[in-house]
Structure 1
Amino acid sequence: MELSKKKKGINEQQNIAYLFILFPVILLVVFVIIPIIMALYYSFTDYNIIEKANWVGFSNFTRIFQDEFFFISLRNTAVYTLLYVPLGLIVSLIAAMLLNRKVRTSSMFRVFFYFPVLCSSVATATIWYWLLNPQYGLLNQLLGLIGINGPAWLYSSNWAMTAIVIMSVWMSFGGNMMIFLAGLQGINPALYEAADIEGANGWQKFKGITWPQLSKTTFLVSTQLVIGAFQVFDQAYMLTKGGPGNSTITLVYYIYNKGFGGLEMGYASALSFILFMIIFVFSLINMRITNKEIN
């Protein structure tokens, strides 16, 4: 009798667990898996929302490699990634190491540094649009105090991408900082105590203990940064609209223009899968490099 009651109780708990799992699974299927399947189908059509989709085979994919603006957007995205990923890693790691010290104000600064992550991209872009204004922007005024004539930033094809990178790092480093901070607090303090006994300086401890112990954390953060870099859209859309002179048009922004601007949903879907393959390949490369460092 008691055994049957226990089995009944276990079955009820399992049913409740399945109900909790069911809701996110439904969301995943409806909002992720089904749209991916639909996008894959439409990538082989000339779908434009208004008219019925017609099957065109691989025409959209062959068109991509003849599209000049695709290569422009790919180059811009690559430049953004090469600037954003290393800078994001360095700033996040330095901030985490500074806030890992046992200081009273460290908790307060953690909140301050994490706050930009919680802000909407629209609000952040509005603030940075003012900060980067070449005439009355705060950044150029600060540069003027030390005798530097600040550039036109968002109005210059040479500086617009740099401005977007600066804003992106400011927006995201707080979240990556918290991940690095968790990794730092997971390092055994005995390793540093042994290094102190051996007379190691700060750089030697970082090189011999901190950096190797953070290899897995670095892999996580760098992978997130690479994926986020190839998906950059809000910053370019809000600050520059892809200009000046197409210098900040990114892959996602180009996909958006083709899909919602030109109503070429079939071609935009094909571009999306090319972007997926690019992200997948770079993630594999990053995994190989990081695994070699770990081993």
Structure 2
Amino acid sequence: MTLLLLLPSLILMIVVIGYPMIQGFWYSFTNGSLLKAGKFVGLRNYGKLLSDPSFWHALRFSLYFAIANIIGCYSLGLGLALLLQKDFPGRGLFRVLLLLPWIVPSLVAIVSWRWMINDDKALFNQIIVFFGGDPVYFLSSSNWTIAMVIIIKIWRSFPFMLLSLLAALQTIDRTLYEAADIDGATKWQSFRHVTVPAISGISVVLCLLMTVWTVNDFDTPWLLAQGGPANATENLVVLAYRYTFARNDVGMGAAVSFVTLAILMVIFAVVLRLQREKR
């Protein structure tokens, strides 16, 4: 009976997830294009990929992008979650406003950011010039473009971290803080020895989710700068897109995708094992 109840969901998962993954995995062993099916070439695509400098650049940027985003949005989300636990006028409105970056569609948000930093006449540069500075060409310099991609990603990601951490903070037993106060603990000691251990489990899960979402983020680097300038913001997903649609090489695009999947699975396995050992 239980199997019958689960059968519709299983069939849907196989059709929507299982079959496309198996077919994509097969494509990674072929030399096909968008217009014709390819022949089986074994591990040739993976060999070409590992010898391609653009792959290693995309891998380095993806890891750097993920680490910077996790640190940024976790720090910002936790700080604001701790602030929103306090009672102050307008707290409800403040919560709603902080959710806007998460609610606004990515296309609208990123194009709006691009409009504000695009050239010397953009809003940010007008403000800089107003205060006596020189215009900054945010999308012409590799370093500035990388910085803006990270800032926009943090801006879009921190509301999810904020809501999740705020929910976790509200589940902590208040008597633990009362006991810490009685023992003479400072605010920092209470945070370190009560708050941090209590939210460590959810923090690991949130960081893993954010890793997956950041490594698989196509919208931010592509809509802001199309992976440029000079491929400076090209991550693994953008590289897979270029192989598949710009270079018309479905096999290489699929190979990039499954190498990305393998890397994420290794990260998950290592982090979860360390978490179990710590517990």
Scaled by the length of structure 1, what TM-score is found? 0.87
Q: Residue 5 of structure 1 aligns with which residue?
A: none
Correspondences of 1:129-140 after superposition (within 5 Å): 129-140=114-125
Report deviation, 1:134: 4.7
Q: Residue 52 of structure 1 aligns with which residue?
A: 37
Amino acid corresponding to residue 166 of structure 1 in structure 2: I
Report deviation, 1:237: 0.9
Q: Is the 8 A contact 2:120 2:136 kept in 1?
A: no
Matched, 1:286 2:277: no
Amino acid corresponding to residue 173 of structure 2 in structure 1: N
Q: Residue 20 of structure 2 aligns with which residue?
A: 35
Q: Residue 62 of structure 2 aligns with which residue?
A: 77
* Residue-pair matches, total: 279
Q: Deviations over 1:241-288 (max 9, x none)?
A: 111111011110010111122221111111111000111112223324
SS class of match (1:200): coil
Question: Of residues 221, 231, 234 in structure 1, which corresponds to 2:206?
Answer: 221
Q: Residue 25 of structure 1 aligns with which residue?
A: 10
Q: Is the 8 A contact 2:27 2:251 kept in 1?
A: yes
Q: 1:231 to 1:46 in 2, by over 3 A?
A: same
Q: Is the 8 A contact 2:28 2:255 kept in 1?
A: yes
CA RMSD of aligned residues (A): 2.2
Higher mean C-alpha deviation, range 274-283 or range 76-85: 76-85
Q: 1:59 to 1:128 in 2, by over 3 A?
A: same
Report deviation, 1:100: 1.7
Work out the CA distance in 1 between the residues paired with 2:203 and 2:149. 23
Scaled by the length of structure 2, what TM-score is found? 0.92
Amino acid corresponding to residue 195 of structure 1 in structure 2: A
Q: Residue 4 of structure 1 aligns with which residue?
A: none
Correspondences of 1:148-163 after superposition (within 5 Å): 149=134, 151-163=136-148
Q: Is the 8 A contact 2:120 2:135 kept in 1?
A: no
Work out the CA distance in 2 between the residues paired with 1:103 and 1:290. 36
Q: Residue 169 of structure 2 aligns with which residue?
A: 184
Q: 1:92 to 1:246 in 2, by over 3 A?
A: same
Q: 1:152 to 1:268 in 2, by over 3 A?
A: same
Work out the CA distance in 2 between the residues paired with 1:27 and 1:118. 28
Q: 1:145 to 1:188 in 2, by over 3 A?
A: farther
Q: Residue 186 of structure 2 aligns with which residue?
A: 201
Report deviation, 1:131: 2.5
Higher mean C-alpha deviation, range 59-68 or range 196-205: 196-205
Work out the CA distance in 2 between the residues paired with 1:248 and 1:22. 43
Work out the CA distance in 2 between the residues paired with 1:24 and 1:150. 55
Matched, 1:249 2:246: no
Larger radius of gyration, structure 1 or 2?
Answer: 1
